[in-house]
Structure 1
Amino acid sequence: MFQEPDYRENLSLMLSEVLDDIGVNERIVMRRRRGVMLLETTGTISSRLTDENITFFYLGSQSEGTTTIGLESDIDILACMPKVNIIQDWSEWEHGKLNFLMILDENTTPGYCFLQRLRNDVPLPSTVIPDEHYITDRRGRILFKNTVINHFLQGAQQQHGPSIAEQGQPGICDIDIVTAFHCKSWPQSASGWLDRQGIGIWPTQDMRRYATSTGCFVVATGSKVSEYPELEWRISTSMAERFVMFNLNITQIRCYVLLKMILKSFLNPQDEINISSFMCKTVLLHCIENTESQIWKDNNLYTCVTYCLLELHSCVQNDRCSHFIIPENNLMAGQFTAETKHELSKNICDFIQNDRQRLLSIYIDDLGHRLQVKLNRVPHGVYYFPCSLEIYEKIMTSAYINIANYISLQHELILKHLHNKNIRTIKQSVGKLMTFSDNGNRLEHAAFKLLAPFLFTTYGSILASSSIGENNQVSPQALVWLTAGLNSDISSSRLKLASVFYSTGDMEKAEQILRHTEQQYYSYPVLSICSCHKKPPAVTAEFKRLCNEQQSEDCIKYITAFCVRFIQREVNCVPRELQYEMFRSTQDDMIHRHEIEDCWMDWAVVDSLPFLYFLQYKIYRHLQRHRDQQQALCKLIRTINTDENLRHRETALNILGQCMEQENRPQQALKCYMLSLHQRARNNAANFHICKLLSGLLVSQ
């Protein structure tokens, strides 16, 4: 079937060009993978520092780079819980751990297992039911229910869910977190894959060898056709599957992307997810395994897609899509009604018979319109769609913003963990982080370089607050850590250092830092970053262009301005006007706060640029540079009125109101506080400022 007429080769090349234009090429695929793997590593490091000790794995299209802007792929996260040892052989039992034995028998669905609880002192089955998450089966075995998932998910959601994504938010990927336990050994039910050899001699033995070293997971999900859905755990070889996907060539990746576009556009009737993208991936991998490797080239892309669709049609017809690594696991078991099966079969046949016309009508990423232009079906200019440069800029901008937002989120979670800890514990957390610099792999080094400066600055500021409280001086040790964290981004750590100097009365040093920081704002198109709020930032065309020119995620240090965070242990480094933000909530307000998402409300948190101009105002006032003082005040007002990316506008209005009080303009101050309350009615220090202002006015009268 692979000896096709010239038009198929021509159409294949045109399709490849279109997919290249929308970002399905080696450069973008590798950049997508790098960005997502960096998020994965950063989340795991943060989890170590917060004592959650969860290991995160990012799976699916986002981590594989097998997606486009128009496909709007979710982020799939597997959260591997600690202190649980899943074994397949008694020799793998570990003393002191929560050990479970994988059970595969006549009652388990292929690809699934039961988990039998074992004793933690000796390698024997447990005979005690510890809580409601266990049940005794007919053989007297203590089995673990998969409904325990809700108990374990909280930590995973805290690390990823609240601030990185919200279902349905525009411009933000939805996330799907599943809880899993790791098994160090390769699943016995997948042993046949190690020796299976298709026509394509793929995956190679080296790939199989590496894949098996990853072991497997058990995921808290039962089969749809199981008699015991609450007791079954799905056996997952997701790390091996990801590694296999990482070894696809660009034609195979483009084939998979096209299959997903066809699936989304035509095959699933009435927007129902009957055929999943994972089924399409599985079909693709079987096709690659059973064809010669030279088939998978750009000039044969059209034929490869057709071949995969024929295989998919056969799967639907036979109600069977065998898992690529565990073939006994039928991914289509219990998936379709007879009516749905008939509809899907009809849709696939219809597409294959009218494939050229159907391809031209794919709306995702304007693929159909782009293809019509490439084939000279319509002249240039009839359709408008973004050029490849615009798309590349959008993809790279999104990647860097995701990384920056994620660094901000993990810093926030670390601060939440350290909020009430003593100096010794905080020092230990810094020491834990340093191990990733000394002993980590490349990704861990990269994550360390992005995350560490924020923790260094916080530690230095805590030490400075302690020494300021004792003798109004900054200890040399505090300065060492504050200096080590200066390059976190263009502003937040520098502003904290300036605030430290301001708090000790060293106005000259503080002013120098502020002047340099303000100059940085004019050197690059800077984007404000804050994970306290979910709203995606507004991005300029200049910022997108700059992102596309960058070769490394280190660029976020020079083009982003994170919000400035002071926990209460840093109170002596915080200007008095900002300290009120640490006590914004009354008892009544507290019930309107989210335990995880609103943890920052016990701190002083302010956007970088308003804080910069506020500090300038205070310092120039102290230095009696009245003209500079008024200029700083005007800049603060203009920033609050015009910067649409401010995330803590109510705080900026509160410090502006206090500036107005110091200018003896009480009515303007009151207006600022009222505007602040309009931004945030509860958990707002403006309530206190209004009472204080009105009380002062009454006393003066």
Structure 2
Amino acid sequence: MDSISLNGNTGFQHLCESVFVRLCQIVGTSVQVTIRRETWGIREMVERRVADNDDVITMQSGSRREGFRLKGSDIDTMFWLNNHRVIFDMSQSQHYYTEKKPLILSDSSESPPGFTLLELLTSTTHGMVLSACVLMNDRIYISSSLFRQQSKSHRFPGSIVHGPCESGAFPGGLEYDLAWCFASDFWPQAASSWIERCHSWPDREVVDEIVRNGCHFVPISHPLGLHEHEEWRISFSLAEHKLVHSMNHCQFLTYGLLKVFFKEVIDKQSEETNKLLCSYHMKTVIFWVIQQNAVSLWCPQNLLAGFWVCFKLLLKWVYEGVCPNFFISENNLFLSKVHGSAQKKLFLELHGLYEEGLVCLLQSPSIKSYITNVLYNPRLAICTNEDRISECNYEKDLLSEINRSYVQPPKNLHHCIKYLHTIELMMGEPLTQYQVLTLQKTTTDILQSTAFTLHNMYTNTGLNKQMYIADRMSCHMLKLAAKFGCKSEMMYIAIFYCKTFRFREALFITEMIKVKLAQPGLRYCGHVDPERYTEAVGGQSWSNKMRQSVACDIMLNTSTCYINELTPEQQSASHNCASLFIPLFVVLHFVEFLCYRHIDTTLAQTALEELQVLVHHDQGLYLPDLMRDISWEILGICQQMTGNLQAALYSYQQSLGQFPTNKIQNATLMRIQDLHIT
């Protein structure tokens, strides 16, 4: 095994091809990665176009936005105030109407490269910004440390401040990083040399788009800066997305191999060094290697040669104690961490791996077997055709990504109309099939929100004609959404009929839904029987597969009333969440219970018992862990309505003990008080 070398022979090419195949399974094929990027990208594009001046903009960042779905990868999200903008010199203020956009001036005169102070130039009424302001030299600056404290949402239990982020973990171990920041429409002068450096990569078109999109500022100071509590770091997250998206697939897989190797090998060397490097350093390495043309040909047969060039550059950086930021090379990413005895220890560990050669990859559990297969079977034929690589499931990836691509729900009827108009315009643009499908799902979500928003506007107005017209329009929109959406969209029709006291019509719909959900090949909560799914919809279009096989959980806009009995929960959640997410089967039994109470009390009790069995005994098949808070809550509401107060109390207490995904604790506590049980 110690004979693995970079000599370009057939054995080495087979080894590269074998690792390529494995990385396609771990990281994804080019089609899978494209699906992930395009579904998220089109969702964010819709949200940006409908955003009002006073909205908060949300952007997924980090590895998931880049197209990775690696086990253990966290969810990185950036937020910024749409009506605040950072400029780099006063002449740029002419581009803004300052009464609507408070302006902030970047002042980097006393800060290390890549960092800056932010001076508030025009008045702001936003409490989070005002509370972070400090006076220095008769000027008002926004303190990064105070802003970090003010922006910490405490939305999830156990979250901590980690760098510029609020960090924590969901049930199951999925970690998250939430970072509030400020946006600039301009490219920083400190990074102008990067533009001049881009001769071979990326293309000029990509460079121009990156520069047009500007940058962000995250609340973390330089550890050796003069203003430890006030400085901000310039963030190039959006530019990094564009760069990663401009890689060819072999370059992207090499980046993925670096991430895997870092996590499974480098980070496992010793406790003294396992916090010195991070995945961002791996990204920086691949950027520099690609731009410097250090690899002659990026292809499957040369994949490990590319990896080895990256590893050698990382080793060089650790030896020198200098990791240059890709955009501002004067910013040494190692400055406060990789130095002294820890640096020497890390270098010796990496050099030990270097001396092993590519054999060091055998220390990676994810890669090892694919290397040994080739070493022990040198004549092994390897197919690098991505479409034929096993374990690739484009449909699962596509449908799962679309189901997760919820847009921010509209706030009012005007916002609903703005969404629908934006989607109409976008459908006339050149879109890929994945983007079209995502817009199709987005359209159904907006139609449903519009239907209930419209109905609530005319409820109890006394204007019968307007109420009748609104009701007809709402029904039409809900039926249209059910026609083009997935199987579960009919549930919103049942909810609407229940809300408008058409209980028998609602129950007729729930029976139809049950029949649809019992059909073979259902995709729900990541569960599907592949054989039955293929029999049911194999060979059909993506759109038909989504309509005929996919079921989603129910999303209720917290600013719109859907089910009167959930009003306290929506009000409680509205302070932190734009939507309530409820398991489909929980809503199904809940609506049946509410309707049967007016028709047949025996059947109402049957619906309640079915709901109770589901909530008490489901093992994740129909009840996702992240939605157990609202599921126990709804069970408690039904039990309280039947007069079973002890059972209701138990259910509410169980709801309080779950992960607070929907932020309904205040409503739960209020309901417990209303039970009057001592």
Query: Which interval holds the TM-score relative to the shorter structure?
Result: 0.7 to 0.9
What is aligned with 1:289? 291
- Give the unaligned 5+ runs of structure 2: 161-165, 381-387, 657-664
Q: 2:414 aligns with which of 428, 437, 441?
A: 428
Match of 1:676 among 640, 651, 656: 651
In the alignment, is residue 515 of structure 1 matched against residue 546 of structure 2?
A: no
Q: In 2 relative to 1, CA 499–282 (structure 1 residues): closer, same or farther, beyond 3 Å?
A: closer
Q: 1:474 to 1:658 in 2, by over 3 A?
A: farther
1:344: which partner in 2?
346
Deviation of 1:43 after TM superposition, in Å, equals 6.4
Distance in 1 (CA, whole Å) between partners of 2:167 and 2:145 is: 23
1:9 is matched with which residue: 9, 13, 29? Answer: 13
Structure 1 residues 105-144: aligned runs within 5 Å: 105=109, 107-119=110-122, 133-137=133-137, 141-144=139-142
- Alignment partner of 1:255: what SS? helix
C-alpha deviation, 1:358, in angstroms: 2.1
1:455 alignment counterpart = 449
> How far off is 1:477 after superposition?
1.4
Call closer, same or farther: CA 1:195–1:684 in 2, change over 3 Å.
closer
Q: 1:214 to 1:157 in 2, by over 3 A?
A: farther
Calculate the TM-score normalised by the size of structure 2. 0.76
Compared with structure 1, are the counterparts of its residues 347 and 429 closer, same or farther at alpha carbon in structure 2 (3 Å cutoff)?
A: same
Cα pair 1:609 1:639 within 8 Å, conserved = no
| 8 Å Cα contact 2:478-2:493 kept in structure 1 | no
Distance 1:678 1:449, change over 3 A: same
Paired positions, count: 617
TM-score, scaled to structure 1? 0.74
Counterpart in 1 of 2:148?
150
1:300 CA drift (Å): 0.9
CA RMSD of aligned residues (A): 4.7
Residue-by-residue CA offset, 1:604-626 (whole Å, 9 max, x unaligned)? 9992221354366457639xxx9
Contact 2:46–2:419 (CA under 8 A) maintained in structure 1: no
Q: Secondary structure of 1:55's match?
A: strand
User: How far did residue 245 of structure 1 move?
Assistant: 1.1
Aligned pairs for 1:633-644 within 5 A: 639=614, 643-644=618-619
| Deviation at residue 564 of structure 1 after TM alignment | 7.3
Deviation track 1:89-141 (CA, whole Å, cap 9, x = no partner) reads: 22211432322222232x210111222333569xxxxxxx987622314xx55
1:317 counterpart SS class:
helix
SS at match of 1:560: coil
Q: Which string of whole-angstrom CA distances, capped at 9 and with x for unpartnered residues, describes residues 61-116 of structure 1?
A: 11112x3533x2222222222222322222211432322222232x2101112223
- Separation of aligned partners in 2, 1:616 and 1:439: 40
Alignment pair present for 1:482 and 2:486: no
Of 453, 463, 466, the residue aligned with 2:460 is 466
Provide the C-alpha distance between the structure 1 equivalents of 2:186 and 2:154, rounded to a whole number of angstroms: 24
Amino acid at match of 2:189: Q
Q: Counterpart in 1 of 2:238?
A: 239
Q: Is the 8 A contact 2:78 2:179 kept in 1?
A: yes
Query: Structure 2 matches for 1:207-356, cutoff 5 A?
Result: 207-268=206-267, 269-270=270-271, 272-291=274-293, 294-356=296-358
What SS class does the counterpart of residue 114 from structure 1 fall into? strand
Task: Identify the residue that residue 187 of structure 1 maps to in structure 2.
Answer: 188
Which residue does 1:102 correspond to in 2?
106
Relative distance call for 1:149 and 1:435 in structure 2 (3 A) is farther
Assess if the C-alpha contact under 8 Å between 2:497 and 2:505 holds in 1: yes
2:590 is matched with which residue?
611
Shift in Å, 1:466: 3.1
**Which structure has the larger Rg over C-alpha atoms?**
1
The one-letter code matched in structure 1 to 2:116 is C
Judge conservation of contact 2:589–2:607 (CA < 8 Å) in 1.
no
**Cα offsets for 1:497-532 (capped at 9, x unmatched):** 44554566655544432332222222355577xxxx
Aligned equivalents of 1:255 and 1:566: distance in 2?
41
Question: Structure 1 pair 475/286, CA: closer, same or farther in 2 (3 Å)?
Answer: same
Equivalent residues of 1:676, 1:686 under 8 A apart? no
Q: Which runs of 5+ in 1 are unaligned?
A: 122-128, 381-387, 419-425, 529-536, 693-701
Whether the aligned pair in 1 keeps the contact of 2:27 and 2:253 (CA below 8 Å) is no
Equivalent position of 1:203 in the other structure: 202
Q: Do structure 1's residue 30 and structure 2's residue 5 form an aligned pair?
A: no
Aligned CA distance change for structure 1 residues 541 and 335 (closer, same or farther; 3 Å): farther
Does the 8 A contact of 2:594 with 2:604 survive in 1?
A: no
> Are the aligned partners of 1:657 and 1:672 in contact in 2 as well (CA < 8 Å)?
yes
Contact 2:131/2:150 (8 A) holds in 1? no
Residue number in structure 2 paired with 1:63? 65
Comparing 300-309 with 603-612, which one deviates more in the overlay? Answer: 603-612
Shift of 1:308: 0.8
CA shift, 1:36, in A, is 3.6
Mapped partners of 1:677, 1:117: distance in 2: 46
Q: 1:262 & 1:315 partners in 2: Cα distance?
A: 17
Q: Secondary structure at the match of 1:520?
A: helix
How do 1:388-427 residues align onto structure 2 when only pairs under 5 Å count?
392-393=392-393, 400=399, 404=403, 407=406, 410-411=408-409, 426-427=412-413
Query: Is this contact kept in 2: 1:102–1:115, CA < 8 A?
Result: yes
Question: What secondary structure is seen at the aligned counterpart in 1 of 2:600?
Answer: helix
Using the alignment, how far apart are the partners of 2:296 and 2:595 within structure 1? Answer: 65
SS at match of 1:466: coil
1:562 is the counterpart of 2:521: no
Amino acid at match of 1:183: S
Distance 1:466 1:500, change over 3 A: farther
Q: Distance in 1 between matches of 2:596 and 2:193?
A: 72
Cross-structure match for 1:533: none
State the one-letter code of the partner of 1:33: R
- Given that 1:283 and 1:308 are in contact with CA atoms closer than 8 Å, whether structure 2 keeps it comes out as yes
Shift of 1:221: 1.6
Residue 470 of structure 1 and its aligned partner are, at CA, apart by 7.5
In 1, the alpha carbon distance for the partners of 2:532 and 2:291 equals 40
* Displacement of 1:398: 7.3
Equivalent position amino acid for 1:111 in 2: G
